[in-house]
Each structure stands twice: as structure tokens, then as C-alpha cells.
Amino acid sequence: MEIWVITTIAAAFLQNVRNSLQKSINSVLSTSGAAYTRFAFGLPLAAIYWFALRSQDSQPLEWEFEFWGFAALGGIAQILAMWFLLRSFQLRSFAVGTAYSKTETFQAAVFTIVLLGEAVSGAAFVAIAISFVGVCFLSLAKMTVGVREFLTSWTNKGALMGLANGAMLGLSAVSYRGAALSLGGDSAILAAAATLVVALSIQTVVMTVYLKIFEVGELSRVWQNRGKGTLVGIASMLGSAGWFTAMTMQNVAYVRAVGQVELIFTFLTAILIFRESIRWTELLGTALIIAGILFLLVD
């Protein structure tokens, strides 16, 4: 199995761990405040990680305008993705929006072609489509949304917010790959770490200003819950390091497609830890995700 695949699966698992840890602070922080912990508490660890790698590999990196442009675009796009998700929370059709946000992998493939000029094979698109159907089954299984409503409501506000969320997530991922590749050098790990530190720095500054102006007192609550926030930051940084490394090594669309295994981890957590009941649609969704990933890897 290729290194990027192993790295992606590890990143997906760590993302599931982060999401589980973040549930413990969602009750005491706003959604923005909880998201902020991922950036602010993850940044110091990312910096340490970068300096540790740099001490072992001193090859020069090309800190050109292209890097800063891609890194800034990726960081801002990821924040906008969160904003669109928050906006969808306020709509009655939130469930539909959540389902449509899963188009991220398709949109990442388009951004990959447009921004980086990298081809995505026809077989890969088929694999992505198979896993996407599986993701939809898993996502819709626990919602009050039927397949008919999902297919016919793509023009309502909830669906549009979901599509925008998926677009921003896809754009951010492709931008991070563009930033890392623009640095040059032979080490994907080093380039990914540098991109991660810069992206987290941008996001921390932007979110600090936002919370200071629009959510007065939230920064104090974040600091009061710094113990839990630190755990979230550690899990988030480790997961992000995996994502950034994998996306530097391989086409983003392929990485995000394999990364959908995270939903299977979430499914297993719900069954094994929280003892939730299983629906046939969840089993079908899991099988389709696995089939799509295997088809992609064989291709």
C-alpha cells in the first residue's frame, strides 16, 4: 500500500478522534469558538513539528508569491467553509445542506483541473461517484431527509449552503497542495509542514479578530477551557499534518476520496462505543464507500 494511502487513512482516523474530543467543548463554546481551538491550540504544535523537521532537513524552500497566495487562499477558504456550515445551521433545510456538502470530492477534482492543471482519470471519477453515493446513504440514514427530497431540493438555500461549503473545502485542499508544491524541494513532509504552519497562522489571526469583534467574551471562554482545547488542537494538528502530507504527495481528489473512510470510522464509533442501532442504508453506504476506495486504488 502506498504511503499517501496510509497517511490519508491515519489522518481520517485522527479527524474522527478530533471530532469526538470537540463534542466535549461544544456545550461551553460557540461553534466558532470550538473551531478556533483547532487553529489556535494546534499552531504551537505545528510550529514545533516544522522546526523539528527543519533541523533534520535544511534544503532550501522557494518562498515565492505563489506559495503565499495559495496558502492564504486555502486558509480563508477553509474559514468560509465553516461560515457556510454555520449559515446552514440557521436554515430549516440543514439536513439537505449537510448532504450536499459531501460533494466536496467532486468539486476538489474540478479545482484540481482548473487551478493546478492536473488530470483526473475517468475511472477515478467513477470511483469518486461510487463512494459519493455511499457517503449520501450514510449521511441521510440518520436524517429526516429522503432520497427524493435530496435529489429535488438542490436549489433551496440549505442545499446551496451545503454546495458552497463543499466548494470551499475542495478549494482549500487544492490550494494547500498548490502551496506545498510551489515550495519545491524533495521532501513532501517538509513542504506540507511549512504550509500547515502558515495556514494555521493565517486562520488563527483571522479568527482571533473575528471573535474579538463579533463574539465578545468568546476568547475568554476559549482560554478558560484551554485543557480540553489543547487536546482538540493536538488531535487536529496531527490529523492536518497527515492530510497536508498526503495532499502534497497525491492528487487532492484521490486523497479526499480515500479520506471518506473517516465516515466509516464514525459509523463504527457509533456502533461500538455509543451502541447505536444499525440501519440497512448505513451498511449499504459503508459497502459503497469501501468499493469506491478499492476501485480508485486499483485504478
pLDDT digits (tens, 9 = 90+) for 159-173: 788 889 999 999 999
Average pLDDT, the chain: 88
pLDDT per position as a tens digit, 217-238: 999 999 999 999 999 999 999 9
Mean pLDDT of 125-149: 76
Q: Residue 92 pLDDT more than 60?
A: no
Percent of the chain predicted with pLDDT > 90: 55
Indicate the pLDDT class of residue 89, thresholds 50, 70 and 90. Answer: low
What per-residue confidence (pLDDT) applies to 95? 62
Q: Show the cell assigned to 53.
A: 523537521
Cα–Cα distance measured from residue 287 to residue 298, given in angstroms and rounded to the nearest whole number: 16
What angle in degrees, to the nearest 10, is found between the helix axes of 188-214 and 157-182? 140
pTM beyond 0.75, yes or no: yes
What per-residue confidence (pLDDT) applies to 247? 97
Q: Residue 216 pLDDT more than 70?
A: yes
Give me the amino acid identity at 20: S
More confident residue, 266 or 52: 52
Q: Is 109 exposed, middle or buried (0-12, 13-18, 19+ CB in 10 A)?
A: buried
Cα–Cα distance measured from residue 207 to residue 49, given in angstroms and rounded to the nearest whole number: 22
The tally of domains found in the chain comes to 1
Report yes or no: 26 and 230 within 8 Å, Cβ to Cβ: no
Cα–Cα distance measured from residue 164 to residue 100, given in angstroms and rounded to the nearest whole number: 9
- CB-based contacts of 132, cutoff 8 Å, min separation 6: 102, 103, 105, 106, 292
Cα–Cα distance measured from residue 196 to residue 282, given in angstroms and rounded to the nearest whole number: 34
Q: Show the cell assigned to 141.
A: 440514514
Cα–Cα distance measured from residue 171 to residue 213, given in angstroms and rounded to the nearest whole number: 27
Cα–Cα distance measured from residue 98 to residue 47, given in angstroms and rounded to the nearest whole number: 33
What per-residue confidence (pLDDT) applies to 217? 94
Mean pLDDT of 269-276: 74
What per-residue confidence (pLDDT) applies to 94? 60
Mean pLDDT of 77-106: 77
What per-residue confidence (pLDDT) applies to 195? 98
Mean pLDDT of 167-180: 97
Write down the residue that cell numbers 489543547 correspond to: 230
Q: Show the cell assigned to 107.
A: 468539486
pLDDT per position as a tens digit, 21-40: 887 787 899 888 988 999 99
Q: Residue 80 pLDDT more than 80?
A: yes
| Cα angle for residues 128, 130, 136 (degrees, 5° grid) | 100
What per-residue confidence (pLDDT) applies to 22? 82
What per-residue confidence (pLDDT) applies to 246? 98
Report yes or no: 92 and 161 within 8 Å, Cβ to Cβ: no
Give the end-to-end CA distance of the chain in Å, rounded to a whole number: 13
Q: Residue 143 pLDDT more than 70?
A: no
In angstroms, the Cα distances linking 49 to 75, 133, 228 are: 19, 37, 21
Domain extent for 195:
3-298
Percent of the chain predicted with pLDDT > 70: 90
What per-residue confidence (pLDDT) applies to 189? 95
Q: Residue 286 pLDDT more than 60?
A: yes
More confident residue, 119 or 157: 119
